[in-house]
Amino acid sequence: MDKILAKKDYPQWLAKLASYRIYAPRKKDDVWNYELLTDPDGDRLEEVMTAVPAKGIVFPQREFFFAFAEKDDNGAQINELLPEDNPVVVFGVRPCEGKAVTLTDLVFGGEFEDPYYWRRRNATTLVGLGCAQPPSPNCFCLSVDGSPHSKEGLDLLLTDLGETYYAEALTKKGKKLVLEGIKLFTDPKPEDRKMVDKIQADSRKKIRRELSLIDNVPAKLKGMFDSSLWDDESMSCIRCGICTYLCPTCHCFDMNDEVETVSPLSGKRVRTWDTCQFPDFTMHSSGHNPRPDKASRLRQRINHKFQYFVEIWNKYQCTGCGRCISLCPVGIDIIKVVEKVRDHGA
């Protein structure tokens, strides 16, 4: 279903979505992040790249699994704490984030479905905003099977036509969202569609950075486990968690018991994001650490994204958003590293 919405009517559409919790990009201290809108009046849909990607809405940095409590008769009470499934809508999602959610869907689905992820995921409508210009100088979505107007993972895709948005409903959820404000929408004219096609085609030419000819990289990586490349490339790594926490496809997490009262014992089992870049990520209780140094941890990050994930799912675990490049305090550049792998020994 394709519709047109005048940009000036966007706040009214939001007003019609009172039954949803609405997230949209908001700026604070020069940083954009998805915030819960409490008052959509006069809102504008911003074309930005947030620091924390949309994954944080379906896979939040912290969530509860269950509450535990000691019972009088020496038993234990375990109360499941599933997230609320009130409908959520996220506006301003860049196509790379939508694609990334399809990758986290693979991880959290499968044989052992993650009920927490799926409750949020199923209740969330993702409204994409196509990238007429790349939001970051480090965008390279085209190189990893993505595009500035990719529809993957999105429920609705908006293309900016200047005074209006061209809205393409891609799923039932997307259609429902349009229907909520149907009076504000009009039918597109043929020239609207032509304009969309032109904008989408032009946007591909504007992507500045490229990671080309990487078909051989998964196989190349297999033979480079002991390469000195990892040591060289990780020399300046300061082992923080920026590249992974802010990566839309990264999904590693930790589980911890947070005690609230000691006697009687009560507390919650909590999931939080974790990162393979922290030194204690793989450290055994005995002190043995399969990845004791930065070289092995950088190797893991690159291998996971460009070899292991490919071997399991036949997709790169990277959507080319460039956050890890832009935000790394020492400028470690995943494009450069993978290029070096590609060209290694050539």
Partner 1 sequence: MGHNVYLPKAAKILEIREEVGGVRPIKTFRTAFLDGGGFAYRCGQCAMLSVFGKGEVMISISSSPLVKEYLQFSILKTGRVTTALHDMEVGDVIGIRGPYGNGFPLEEWKGKDIVFAGGGIGLAPLWGLVQMTNGRKEDYGRLTLIYGARTSKDIVFHEELEALKNKMSVHLSVDVAEPGWGEFVGFVAQNVLDKKPSPENAVAITCGPPIMIKTVIKALKDLKFDDAQIYTTVENKMKCGIGKCGRCNIGRHYVCKDGPVYSWAELKNLPQEY
Partner 2 sequence: MVNIEDLKEEARRVLKEGKVKYIIGYERASDSWKANPVFLRKPEDVDKLVWDPTCFHNLVRFLVDEKRRKAREKPADSRPVGIVVKGCDSRAIVILLQEKFFERADVFVLGVSCESSGVVDERKLAKKTTGKSVRKLDFGDKQNFIVTTDDGTMGIAASEVLADRCLDCIANVPVVSDRLLGGKDKRTVARPFHAVEKMESLSQDERLTFWRDQFKKCVRCYACRSACPMCYCEECVVDTINFAVSADTPAEEKAQRIKWLEKSPVDSENVFYHLVRAIHLAGRCIDCGECERACPVNIPLRMLNKKLEKEAKELFGYDAGFDPDQPALISCFKDGDPEDFIR
Compute the distance between CA of residue 81 and CA of residue 79 in angstroms, rounded to an integer.
Answer: 6
Using DSSP, state whether 316 is helix, strand or coil. Answer: coil
Select the residue interacting with partner 2 from 46, 70, 160, 333 (CB under 8 A): 333
Check binding of 252 to partner 2 (CB under 8 A). Answer: no
**Minimum distance between the CB of residue 313 and partner 1, rounded to whole angstroms?**
10
3-state secondary structure 205-268: HHCCCCCCCCCCHHHHHHCCCCCCHHHHHHCCCCCCCHHHHCCCCCCCEEEEEEEEECCCCEEE
Q: What is the DSSP string of 120-145?
A: HHHHEEEEEE--SS-SSTT--GGGGT
Which positions from 18 through 77 interact with partner 2, judged by CB under 8 A? 28-31, 33, 51-52, 61-62
Note whether 242 and 329 are within 8 A (CB): yes
Supply 326's token pair.
Answer: 């832009």
Provide the residue type at 136 as one letter: S
Compute the distance between CA of residue 247 and CA of residue 270 in angstroms, rounded to an integer.
Answer: 21
Q: Choosing among partner 1, partner 2, none, which partner's interface includes residue 124 (Cβ < 5 to 8 Å by kind)?
A: none
Provide the residue type at 227 as one letter: S
Check binding of 256 to partner 2 (CB under 8 A). Answer: yes
Provide the residue type at 306 as one letter: F
- Nearer CB in complex with partner 1: 17/224: 224
Select the residue interacting with partner 1 from 13, 91, 281, 306 (CB under 8 A): 281
Select the residue interacting with partner 1 from 19, 39, 205, 284 (CB under 8 A): 284
- Nearer CB in complex with partner 1: 12/282: 282
Check binding of 64 to partner 1 (CB under 8 A). Answer: no
Interacting span for partner 1 (CB under 8 A) from 69-77, 123-131, 200-208, 323-331: 69-77
Q: How far is CA 320 from the centre of its chain?
A: 11
CB atoms within 10 A of CB 39: 9
- Nearer CB in complex with partner 1: 151/220: 220
Check binding of 330 to partner 2 (CB under 8 A). Answer: yes
**Minimum distance between the CB of residue 259 and partner 2, rounded to whole angstroms?**
9
Interacting span for partner 2 (CB under 8 A) from 10-18, 96-104, 279-287, 309-317: 279-287
**Minimum distance between the CB of residue 157 and partner 2, rounded to whole angstroms?**
25
Compute the distance between CA of residue 257 and CA of residue 254 in angstroms, rounded to an integer.
Answer: 10
Residues binding partner 1: what is the number (CB under 8 A)?
53
Interacting span for partner 1 (CB under 8 A) from 28-36, 50-58, 105-113, 147-155: 105-113
Order of all β-strands in the sheet with 2-6: 31-36, 21-28, 88-93, 124-129, 156-160, 164-169, 2-6, 185-186
Which positions from 289 through 328 interact with partner 1, judged by CB under 8 A? 290-291, 296, 300, 303-304, 307-309, 311-312
CB atoms within 10 A of CB 241: 17
| Residue 123, CA atoms < 13 Å, CB-side half-sphere | 20
Check binding of 113 to partner 1 (CB under 8 A). Answer: yes
Q: 131 CB contacts (<8 Å, ≥6 apart)?
A: 47, 94, 95, 139, 148, 149, 203
Q: In terms of residues, how long is the chain?
A: 346
Check binding of 242 to partner 2 (CB under 8 A). Answer: yes
Check binding of 225 to partner 1 (CB under 8 A). Answer: yes
Using DSSP, state whether 6 is helix, strand or coil. Answer: strand
Q: Choosing among partner 2, partner 1, none, which partner's interface includes residue 311 (Cβ < 5 to 8 Å by kind)?
A: partner 1
Which residues bind to partner 2, rule: CB under 8 A?
28-31, 33, 51-52, 61-62, 137-138, 209, 232, 235-236, 238-242, 245-246, 254, 256, 258, 270, 272-275, 278-280, 283, 285-288, 294, 327, 329-331, 333, 335-336
Which residues bind to partner 1, rule: CB under 8 A?
65-66, 68, 70, 74-76, 78, 80, 82, 107-108, 110-116, 118-119, 225, 251-257, 259, 265, 267, 269, 274, 276, 281-286, 288, 290-291, 296, 300, 303-304, 307-309, 311-312
